[in-house]
Chain A
């Protein structure tokens, strides 16, 4: 059995006879279709009597010869004839490619779409905040609707399980701040002010900001993915039809838990960062722990801690809301869940940092230096 199909063009009575033999299958068509193009004779006759096997691609080639060049087909078995007929029937104009759009159109189209999405998200988030306030009010009026178990479970996932990673991160950042600060301050002989640097930056900014970023990455993304897949699975719709409000059952426990956990985690993070800085000061700058703690108490005003504790729940709310909002926007396919999760994290962190800037200006102007 020959593996390939060959054909011999020969001239009989001024007609060009293409006698195929062997297998007329996809395996051979690449060469065949080039060779066939090279034949320039007019009156073609295709002889299939020596073909052993033919698949639809082979039939397609034969059909094309018939269609484009008026070839006459002889010697086809019944099966081959059937196959060629089948392919002939399937020869209808089909759009295979998308029509390309002009580059100008694409660029402006994307800019427009991005602007539109940004506006929609802004409006959507505000609307979502409103809906959340309404369901909070409903829960306050009907305290039995407060889902205690769901909230406690979120406390565990958002708070307790984040302790290790946030602690480790804060500890390392505390050491880095102290070490880098010490190098710079040494140039002025002011190494001892490393304590000020570590204490104030950790309590006022770093603790809460780093925690916010970590929570956005851990929990904001998880909220978006959870709610997104529930949305895809029509679980959210099922909830609505049963009469359970997804806002109260899904969104409120998550937002509430994050709002409650963020100040605790932020405070914890600040303390661990200070411990990290303290250990560096002890080992490297030879400031004993007792002195370090005393200095911290002198240097860090209570208002720094207040700032930390005021900012943390706000950040928590923003992160949880961005996560839940994006999750509930999922529609269509699983790919969307991934995209929305990414958006939730990016949006959460971005909004946190923007708000942090506002907070900084605000607290400075009310005299909380």
Chain B
């Protein structure tokens, strides 16, 4: 696989539930090393798109390649090798509720590298925990004892357990307070810098889009109607995109972004 080949390629994807068509002939490329924001109104199939790419949802038609390897119709054993190269953060964190945070992080390590001794496993869990910005006592806690924001951080620590090249984030800042959300954006940006991640990020949060996304893909009318940097999208004459970025919230986020860039 060459360096320039997209890390995720989606071609002609169709998804339908009964009569309801969610995606129809959808194409999408995610480039290596970028943070791609995926936006769209409620019910436009953002999560379904992510679930299709990571193989939780079998599409009605279409082709999906991740790391250049076809993902549809692969058997479990082969898919496993691809799976260890990505990490997924689900909306609610999806931590295993009967395990502590540290044990949650160790689950993928134990699954894929069973020979690693406990001491090293604990060390790995420990630095993943502090990398994801959790406090020093979080490792021994159960998910029920954590706040929503901490659960997301623990979720990202688990997603990063195997040093993935590709990270899927499903609305990571939803339900966080603005300070927590900004800190989370910074965390994703830093991790990308340090680990060279590619990030597929579903979000509603305009601040997140301005702060960390390299490109933004807009889902509407069962397709990706536009993909590009925010200035590129703003130049387009599409009703939803204009409403989205030029609504009151969009303008505020843009102004903040401008001010921050001027400061820097």
Contact = CB atoms under 8 A, between A and B. Distances in A.
Given A25-B163, A93-B136, A333-B97, A60 B127 contact: yes
Interface in B134-158: 136-140, 144
A95 interface: yes
Given A27-B113, A29-B120, A30-B113, A91 B130 contact: yes
Nearest to A97: B140
B117 A86 contact: no
B74 to A, nearest CB: 21
B196 interface: yes
A82 B193 contact: yes
Interface string A297-320: 000000000000000000000000
A57 B124 contact: yes
Interface string A70-114: 000000000100110011011111111111000000000000000
Contacts of B125: 94, 96
A92 B134 CA distance: 11
B60 interface: no
B77 to A, nearest CB: 17
Nearest to A57: B124
A366 to B, nearest CB: 52
A42 interface: no
Question: What is the predominant secondary structure among interface residues of chain B facing chain A?
Answer: helix
Contacts of B194: 82-83, 86
B123 interface: yes
A82 B193 CA distance: 9
B104 to A, nearest CB: 11
Given A33-B120, A333-B144, A98 B100 contact: yes
A94 B100 contact: no
B122 interface: yes
A14 interface: no
B183 interface: no
A95 B195 contact: no
Contacts of A90: 127-128, 130-131
A30 B115 contact: yes
Q: Which range holds the interface residue count of chain B?
A: 20 to 34
Contacts of A33: 117, 120
Given A56-B127, A92-B130, A97-B140, A79 B120 contact: no
B116 interface: yes
A27 B144 CA distance: 32
A55 B195 CA distance: 8
Nearest to B136: A94
B130 A95 contact: no
A99 B141 CA distance: 11
Which of B129, B131, B163 has the largest count of A CB atoms less than 10 A from its CB?
A: B163
B159 interface: no
B193 to A, nearest CB: 7
A189 interface: no
A339 interface: no
Interface residues of A, number: 30
Contacts of B162: 26
Nearest to B115: A30
B8 to A, nearest CB: 21
Nearest to A82: B194
A12 interface: no
Contact of B195 (A26, A27, A56): A56
Interface string B98-135: 10101000000100010111001011111111110000
A83 B125 CA distance: 17
A26 B127 CA distance: 14
Contact of A332 (B128, B130, B139, B144): B144
Interface string A177-212: 000000000000000000000000000000000000
B198 to A, nearest CB: 15
Contact of A94 (B109, B126, B190, B196): B126
Contacts of B117: 30, 33
A33 B120 CA distance: 9
A87 B131 CA distance: 8
Contact of B136 (A89, A92, A332): A92
B140 A91 contact: no
A60 B196 CA distance: 17
Q: Max chain B CB contacts within 10 Å: which of A25, A94, A335?
A: A94
23 contacts: A25-B163, A26-B113, A26-B116, A26-B162, A30-B116, A56-B160, A56-B195, A79-B196, A82-B194, A87-B131, A90-B127, A90-B128, A90-B130, A90-B131, A92-B130, A93-B136, A94-B102, A94-B127, A94-B138, A95-B137, A95-B138, A96-B126, A96-B129
Interface of A: 25-27, 29-30, 33, 55-57, 60, 64, 79, 82-83, 86-87, 89-99, 332-333, 335
Given A30-B113, A56-B163, 18 more contacts: A27-B113, A55-B163, A56-B195, A57-B124, A60-B123, A79-B196, A82-B194, A86-B194, A91-B127, A91-B130, A94-B102, A94-B127, A94-B137, A94-B139, A95-B136, A95-B138, A95-B139, A96-B129
Q: Which 4 A-B pairs have the closest CB atoms?
A: A55-B163, A94-B126, A86-B194, A90-B131
